[in-house]
Structure 1
Amino acid sequence: MKKQYKEGRFNIKSSVPLRKHALYLLDKLNGHYSKQHAQFSCLFGWYEQGEYQSYLALGQNAEYQCRLYDGHAVFTFKVAEKVVLEQKVGLCDSASSIYESLFCHLKALIQASQPYLGDYFEGDISALPFLGGWKCITSNQAYEGDMIFRATLAELIVHVQGQSCLAYGDDLLLSSLQDVLSLDEFETSMKLAKPIGIINDQKVPECREYIGNLVELLNDVSGSKDKVVLGRKRHLFSYAPVTSTQLLNHVHNERFNTYDIIVEWADEPSWVCVSPETLIKKHLETVIVEPLAGTRKGSEFSGTAAKFRQELVESVKENEEHRVAVDLFLKSVSQYCQPNSVKLEKSKNIIDLGYVQHLKSIIRGRVNEGISIFDILCSIYPPATIWGVPIKESTSRIERAEPFKREFFAGAFGFFNLQDSANFALAIRIAKLHEQTVIVYSGSGIIEGADPFHEWMETDNKMAPFLSAVVRT
């Protein structure tokens, strides 16, 4: 029997802000549709022209996947766990070549799968989002056997905009959705407000090792314009299991226009992300990238925040880091856009997230006919903001100085549809949940002249949304 997506429009009555309501709604959907929740659950919330909207998704109808095996990538398109298409290709060793191959073959797989959609789905599903993302691969060997890309077409998709939502699913799922929307939010709010108590934590690497590694990197980049982004993580051990909705409830801040992201697959740990950085957005012929590079501490006191802001504006190191990132994006995006259409609309705007301040630019262009989101991703990922320059040298430096797998940290989360609209956030300000452990990740850009202890403190500052969400018991 073919799968159906009926459309239902529902009004929202909520006493809490829209971002909070979307989170509460996902928690209620997870409880009501437990079978679908066990397969896949996702919240992807973002701002569009100042207005917040979100996709909530549960269950698994179809999926595009890529897994690494023995130096090869296996690309798969599945419907209801049935393999419809599968392709196996060789991969190169360098990071840029790996991702160029990944996105090139994903584009081919998606195109090849479309003639089969009519065999499995009734009607047009081209506007529905495939939600997911990809991991940040610093070493092929470390990711042997891993699923490095996956994007899921959920059984139930709820698109929340303002005081209404559009829902897509079969008759059975939609018939009970109004009941879920009507559930009292007070019980959910009390459950998600429960404090997250931690009994211990572990830094990976520890400060001494991190600074030692950084000093070696500074010797490497001395006398050059090279940059490398060095990451670290921190394990927070809780006395009780922590849920993704509970963690995001404590982490996100209504005052700042960041992404709200929860991604859970049955065979993966849960991920929670409040990224401030758009990797890429595409709608029709318009493409937008928003490089974020250059950081100073934030403060709740206006005078102190202004002092840090002025330091950021005047910092040669932070401005150079930002310039390199912007120049690379401009060069990469221009390859796929109409002549003279690529514009640097906003340059080095300061965004204040409370705990840190960043330099941010916005680049907009009009893509050439026939260019897909995956063509552009071939060129822009991995960006300097999470990797470094040159790519090849940065790869070997990251492998040498980072004693862990990044997994989805510094990868991306978001959605695309078969009409080639897309929105992907860089997976920074991110944590992984595994039973009673919350693992928080962050990184900083290292160039000549960087101060090792300052970089350690910067990575701590970037973890602040998660560190301030927990209580030591």
Structure 2
Amino acid sequence: MNTVRQFTFKNPHPDGDTGMVGAAIAQWLESRYPQAAAEFLGLFAHTADDGAYSIAGVGSEFQVESRKQGDTLHLCLKHRGSVLREVSYALAGRDLHEEVFGHAAHFVYGARVLLMGTHQLPPSTMLLGGWRCGTHPDEMQEPLIFTIPRIACHVTREACVFTLLGDESDADIIQAMSDLPREVSPSTPLKIAGRRDIPECRDYIGALSEMIASLSQEANDKVVICREVRLFLQSAVSPVDLLLMAASGKPAKYRYVFRWLDGEAWVGVSPEMLVSKQGANIVVEPLAGTRKGSDAKDKSERYRQELLNDGKEIEEHETAARMFLDMLGQVCEPASIQQLESRGIIDLGYVQHLKSKIAATLRPDCNVFHLLAAIYPPATIWGKPVALSGERIRRHEHIERDFFTGGFGFFTLNDDANFALAIRTARMTHNEVRVYAGSGIVRRSDPYREWLETSNKMKPFLDNPYTVYS
């Protein structure tokens, strides 16, 4: 049984950015508890009209792990490395994402009984983590992973609430709050020694031209093709520093850092909510359709009008929104599904997107993983028809997505959840940063324009005040 200790402090900067407060706490936790941070480092910040919060955590007190071996999926709940519960499920060869989430939906019921009963964790306990995008399902070995940190801090505008599941000193936490800086910035610039595009522009355009010729004229025939830029570093930077660099422009809806076992870190400034769940109420906000942005007001307005009147971008967006409406019907009360917004504009500064907002009520026999089984992968990162899009991605895409275009966020023991779609995301090691972007391809797409669109989407990492090319 775990002893749960909580300490609540007033947020010392209630008028500031809760994401930056969370980043400062994550930096302090990583510095003060390097061994715990080597097990797990997590930072997840969400900004919304009705409020903002961030969660920072280190150490792996409990962890839900997955392992795929051939046609078998193993799901395991561990406590500091010791197995508490393990179940193996046969995979039937259907869509891998649907099967993984479907089995996870069953597994977490039993895990919650152990965590809330035997270990007496409160229902509000968050499991931070995410899942990989299975563009190559035969090669996927670890589909999803979620962690309950040993030390975590939940930051709102009003308070910073620390939860300790280990034996860390109370005095350390008190000291951390008294030393919390108001302004947080990267401690070192991102010094780039070299760059490589995968694929190169010519190869990307060639592959896209070949694929576009195979698309039908049907409005729902779409596929998302992604590429990457590898940056070779002169010196290492921390994952939180990289996040602060990428987040130096307009605030994104989500900012996050995830790293397990001192391995590669995933850093993102995603603008897209995959799903938010509070009680039975769920919201999805698909983004599809893109134009570049500008700091100049007249140019920004011109691009906005182009986006609102571009047939290709509207077609791409409507395809994604209709797909969500169809998929939600599988797990939600049919009469509850409402499209609250259609073709709104979200301006990120470097790009603008068309956005819809859809709300619904989840059926009482379903949890958040049933919901993910129904809605993932969405057309915004995959395409439609789903099975055909998977074949096209495997044939024409030249990268390994891993967590990119998967999801990052949390779910709680009482089944609330918030997940960002993992776009505007980079993978980093000590000497390399891989930056990813994709675009939705339909029959009317122009391959070179899609190259430019993906370049614009990478700007938070490739073109910010802290990035220096030698």
TM range (shorter): over 0.9
Q: Say if 2:114 is the partner of 1:116.
A: yes
For the residues of structure 2 that align with 1:125 and 1:35, how far apart are their CA atoms?
26
CA shift, 1:92, in A, is 4.5
Call closer, same or farther: CA 1:203–1:254 in 2, change over 3 Å.
Answer: closer
For the residues of structure 2 that align with 1:325 and 1:254, how far apart are their CA atoms?
27
Q: Which residue of 1 aligns with 2:389?
A: 394
Q: Which residue of 2 aligns with 1:315?
A: 310
Q: Which residue of 2 aligns with 1:427?
A: 422
For the residues of structure 2 that align with 1:335 and 1:189, how far apart are their CA atoms?
44
For the residues of structure 2 that align with 1:83 and 1:124, how far apart are their CA atoms?
17
**Counterpart AA for 2:175:** D
**Counterpart AA for 2:114:** Y
CA shift, 1:249, in A, is 1.0
Which range moves more in the overlay, 262-271 or 443-452?
A: 262-271
Q: Which of 193, 204, 213 is equivalent to 1:199?
A: 193
For the residues of structure 2 that align with 1:353 and 1:279, how far apart are their CA atoms?
17
Q: Say if 2:241 is the partner of 1:246.
A: yes
CA contact (8 A) 2:281 2:361 kept: yes
CA contact (8 A) 1:193 1:250 kept: no
For the residues of structure 2 that align with 1:255 and 1:437, how far apart are their CA atoms?
25
Which range moves more in the overlay, 419-428 or 396-405?
A: 396-405
Call closer, same or farther: CA 1:458–1:86 in 2, change over 3 Å.
Answer: same
For the residues of structure 2 that align with 1:174 and 1:163, how far apart are their CA atoms?
24
Q: Say if 2:274 is the partner of 1:279.
A: yes
For the residues of structure 2 that align with 1:342 and 1:119, how far apart are their CA atoms?
35
Taking the TM superposition and a 5 Å limit, the aligned residue runs for 1:73-112 are 73-93=73-93, 97-112=95-110
Q: Say if 2:224 is the partner of 1:224.
A: no
Q: Which residue of 2 aligns with 1:13?
A: 12
CA contact (8 A) 1:64 1:75 kept: yes
CA shift, 1:37, in A, is 0.7
CA contact (8 A) 1:41 1:58 kept: yes
For the residues of structure 2 that align with 1:18 and 1:11, how far apart are their CA atoms?
12
TM-score by length of 2: 0.95
CA shift, 1:170, in A, is 3.9
Call closer, same or farther: CA 1:137–1:8 in 2, change over 3 Å.
Answer: same
CA shift, 1:114, in A, is 3.2
For the residues of structure 2 that align with 1:472 and 1:270, how far apart are their CA atoms?
22
Q: Which residue of 1 aligns with 2:257?
A: 262
List per-residue Cα deviations over 1:19-78 (Å, max 9, x = no partner). Answer: 322212210111012221111011100024342211111111111111221232211111
Which range moves more in the overlay, 220-229 or 151-160?
A: 220-229
Q: Which residue of 1 aligns with 2:285?
A: 290
What SS is found at the alignment partner of 2:455? helix
**Counterpart AA for 1:136:** C
Percent of pairs with identical residues:
34
CA contact (8 A) 1:193 1:249 kept: no
Taking the TM superposition and a 5 Å limit, the aligned residue runs for 1:136-151 are 136-143=133-140, 146-151=141-146
Q: Which residue of 2 aligns with 1:62?
A: 62
Taking the TM superposition and a 5 Å limit, the aligned residue runs for 1:28-39 are 28-39=28-39
For the residues of structure 1 that align with 2:35 and 2:3, how far apart are their CA atoms?
18
What SS is found at the alignment partner of 1:54? strand
TM-score by length of 1: 0.94
Q: Which of 195, 207, 212 is equivalent to 2:206?
A: 212
Q: Which residue of 1 aligns with 2:360?
A: 365
- CA-based RMSD of the aligned residues comes to 1.8
Which range moves more in the overlay, 263-272 or 148-157?
A: 263-272
**Counterpart AA for 2:9:** F
CA contact (8 A) 1:77 1:109 kept: no
CA contact (8 A) 2:48 2:253 kept: no
Q: Say if 2:436 is the partner of 1:441.
A: yes
Call closer, same or farther: CA 1:459–1:385 in 2, change over 3 Å.
Answer: same
CA contact (8 A) 1:32 1:180 kept: no
**Counterpart AA for 1:42:** G
List per-residue Cα deviations over 1:149-206 (Å, max 9, x = no partner). Answer: 00001111110001421111147436021111222538x946x242111011000001
For the residues of structure 2 that align with 1:124 and 1:311, how far apart are their CA atoms?
51
CA shift, 1:105, in A, is 0.7
Call closer, same or farther: CA 1:247–1:164 in 2, change over 3 Å.
Answer: same
CA contact (8 A) 1:71 1:140 kept: no
CA shift, 1:370, in A, is 2.2
For the residues of structure 2 that align with 1:233 and 1:316, how far apart are their CA atoms?
27
Unaligned runs of 5+ in 1: none
For the residues of structure 1 that align with 2:386 and 2:334, how far apart are their CA atoms?
27
CA shift, 1:340, in A, is 1.8
CA shift, 1:118, in A, is 5.9
For the residues of structure 2 that align with 1:213 and 1:48, how far apart are their CA atoms?
38
Q: Which residue of 1 aligns with 2:407?
A: 412
CA shift, 1:111, in A, is 1.1
What SS is found at the alignment partner of 1:147? coil
CA contact (8 A) 2:19 2:46 kept: no
Matched residues, number: 465
For the residues of structure 1 that align with 2:180 and 2:346, how far apart are their CA atoms?
36
For the residues of structure 2 that align with 1:357 and 1:118, how far apart are their CA atoms?
43
Call closer, same or farther: CA 1:172–1:104 in 2, change over 3 Å.
Answer: same
**Counterpart AA for 2:99:** S
CA contact (8 A) 2:274 2:420 kept: yes
What SS is found at the alignment partner of 1:419? coil
**Counterpart AA for 1:210:** Y
For the residues of structure 1 that align with 2:175 and 2:350, how far apart are their CA atoms?
39
Call closer, same or farther: CA 1:435–1:223 in 2, change over 3 Å.
Answer: same
For the residues of structure 2 that align with 1:298 and 1:375, how far apart are their CA atoms?
37
Call closer, same or farther: CA 1:254–1:296 in 2, change over 3 Å.
Answer: closer
What SS is found at the alignment partner of 1:218? helix
CA contact (8 A) 1:156 1:169 kept: yes
For the residues of structure 2 that align with 1:468 and 1:254, how far apart are their CA atoms?
10
For the residues of structure 1 that align with 2:29 and 2:166, how far apart are their CA atoms?
16
Q: Which residue of 1 aligns with 2:228?
A: 233
Taking the TM superposition and a 5 Å limit, the aligned residue runs for 1:124-139 are 124-139=121-136
Call closer, same or farther: CA 1:65–1:172 in 2, change over 3 Å.
Answer: closer
What SS is found at the alignment partner of 1:363? strand
CA contact (8 A) 2:58 2:151 kept: yes
List per-residue Cα deviations over 1:295-347 (Å, max 9, x = no partner). Answer: 00101111111111111000001001111111110111123222421111111
